């Protein structure tokens, strides 16, 4: 049997994660590979599922909803975890609350409250990560580190949500030591919240270019797209 390109890439990424966790004395099952399938068709997701991948990250809501429906039509019994990892507009919270298992990009209480109100009562609690602007970039989404503790305390109290942890997209940095420094700042915030009694278990950090540094600093979810699906040729409007 000839292995598809996506299956081959998944195998290579998994080997890279395995090497990274071993290098820092962690166990392989401590790190979830989230395949970022944004801009790629449902067929690409189905290829990845056939290769054993079960968690997918999407940025663009309408594209994601179409893809979720298409995958479900082909594999109605398969348990796939869908993670929303894009910016959230207030008028888009209802379909996000109804269709996703995780949301990584909560940065305002209003968005969390709407997700809480709109999460179907018969669904499991929606897993939430708070996005932190760890590099202080004016153009980057995320709550400031100073405002994080109050937001986390408020989100943790909302019904039908489960606050799991923190997410960040640090400023691109080719130097591995500087990559680690940014992720270490997020880990310190995470540890401070846990010490304050907020039961977190998730650090969503690291992408194709800085995955090793993120794993060394405690990432529990790495968001990998290009290394699995290839270069993106367009972005939905």
Q: What is the pLDDT of residues 51-64, one digit of tens each?
A: 999 999 999 999 99
Q: In this predicted structure, what is the pLDDT of residue 184?
A: 98
Q: In this predicted structure, what is the pLDDT of residue 2?
A: 52
Q: In this predicted structure, what is the pLDDT of residue 137?
A: 73
pLDDT tens per residue, range 82-105: 999 999 999 999 999 999 999 999
pLDDT tens per residue, range 127-155: 999 999 998 777 778 999 999 999 999 99
- Residue 164 φ/ψ region, left for φ over 0, alpha for ψ in the -120 to 50 degree band, beta for the rest: alpha
Question: CA 35: distance to chain centroid?
Answer: 9
Domain residue ranges of the chain, discontinuous segments joined by +: 5-228
Going from the C-alpha of 21 to that of each of 14, 217, 219, the distances in angstroms are 11, 10, 10
Provide the 8-state DSSP code for 142.
Answer: S
Q: Which residues lie across from 128 on neighbouring strands?
A: 103, 163
Domain 5-228, CATH class in plain words? alpha beta
Which residue positions in the chain have pLDDT lower than 50? 1
Can you read off the two tokens belonging to residue 18?
């395995």
Mean of the per-residue pLDDT values for the chain?
95
């Amino acid at each position: 049997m000839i292995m598809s390109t996506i299956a081959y890439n998944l195998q290579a990424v998994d080997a890279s994660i395995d090497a990274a966790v071993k290098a820092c004395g962690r166990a392989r099952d401590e790190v979830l590979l989230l395949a970022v399938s944004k801009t790629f068709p449902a067929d690409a997701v189905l290829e990845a599922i056939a290769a054993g991948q079960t968690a997918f990250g999407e940025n663009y809501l309408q594209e994601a909803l179409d893809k979720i429906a298409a995958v479900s039509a082909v594999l109605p019994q398969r348990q796939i975890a869908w993670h929303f990892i894009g910016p959230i507009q207030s008028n888009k919270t209802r379909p996000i609350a109804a269709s996703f298992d995780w949301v990584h990009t909560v940065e305002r209480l209003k968005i969390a409250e709407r997700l809480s109100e709109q999460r179907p009562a018969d669904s499991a609690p929606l897993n939430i990560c708070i996005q932190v602007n760890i590099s202080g970039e004016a153009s980057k989404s995320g709550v400031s580190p100073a405002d994080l503790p109050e937001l986390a305390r408020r989100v943790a109290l909302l019904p039908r949500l489960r606050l799991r942890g923190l997410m960040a997209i640090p400023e691109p940095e080719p130097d591995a030591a500087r990559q680690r420094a940014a992720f270490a700042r997020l880990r310190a915030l995470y540890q401070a919240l846990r010490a304050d009694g907020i039961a977190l278990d998730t650090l969503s950090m690291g992408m194709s270019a800085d995955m090793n540094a993120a794993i060394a600093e405690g990432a529990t979810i790495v968001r990998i797209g290009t290394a699995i699906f290839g270069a993106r040729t367009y972005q939905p409007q």
